[in-house]
């Protein structure tokens, strides 16, 4: 079945850039997403990208998609302590449920 893999932890210093990586196996994926989960809260949609795009930028967030390698990344510029959270990569095809990775815990130190 479909699988989404992420590294479990990332630690950065405040002001640096963070890059969170994800690989997926389903070549039919239509949409790829990044969600953020803060402690004790549900998941919040950060951004998404269609599979026919290579890059999407939204303020401090840059998503890069390498469809050939089935690799998705999320870059957070000027990382702040408030960005500390768990970041989930997810994918689906139109009309099917999202499949999530296990999440990457981002720790930002001042």
Partner 1 sequence: DAGVIQSPRHEVTEMGQEVTLRCKPISGHNSLFWYRQTMMRGLELLIYFNNNVPIDDSGMPEDRFSAKMPNASFSTLKIQPSEPRDSAVYFCASSLTGETGYTFGSGTRLTVV
Closer CB to partner 1, residue 58 or residue 78?
A: 58
Residues between 7 and 46 with contacts to partner 1, criterion CB under 8 A:
31, 33, 40-45
CB of 59 to partner 1, least distance (A): 17
Q: Which stretch binds partner 1 (CB under 8 A): 15-23, 51-59, 71-79, 99-107?
A: 99-107
CB 2 within 8 A of CB 99: yes
Question: What CA–CA distance (Å, rounded) separates 75 from 22?
Answer: 12
Q: Which of 12, 61, 64, 98 binds partner 1 (CB under 8 A)?
A: 98
Residue with tokens 């389903």: 26
64 HSE (CA, 13 A, CB side): 9
C-beta of 7: minimal distance to partner 1 in Å?
Answer: 13
Specify burial of residue 11 (Cβ count, 10 A radius: 0-12, 13-18, 19+): exposed
Span 52-91, contacts to partner 1 by CB under 8 A: 88
* Four-point Cα dihedral 94, 76, 10, 84, nearest 10: -90
Query: Site residues (CB under 8 A) for partner 1?
Result: 31, 33, 40-45, 48, 88, 95, 97-103
């Amino acid at each position: 079945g479909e699988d989404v893999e992420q590294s479990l932890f990332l630690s950065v210093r405040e002001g640096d850039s963070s890059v969170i990586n994800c690989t997926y196996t389903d070549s039919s994926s239509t949409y790829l997403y990044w969600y953020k989960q803060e402690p004790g809260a549900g998941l919040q949609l950060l951004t998404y990208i269609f599979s026919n795009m290579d890059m999407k930028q939204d303020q401090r967030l840059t998503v890069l998609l390498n469809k050939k390698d089935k690799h998705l990344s999320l870059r957070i510029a000027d990382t702040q302590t408030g960005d500390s959270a768990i970041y989930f990569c997810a994918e689906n095809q139109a009309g099917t449920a999202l499949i999530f990775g296990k999440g990457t815990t981002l720790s930002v130190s001042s």
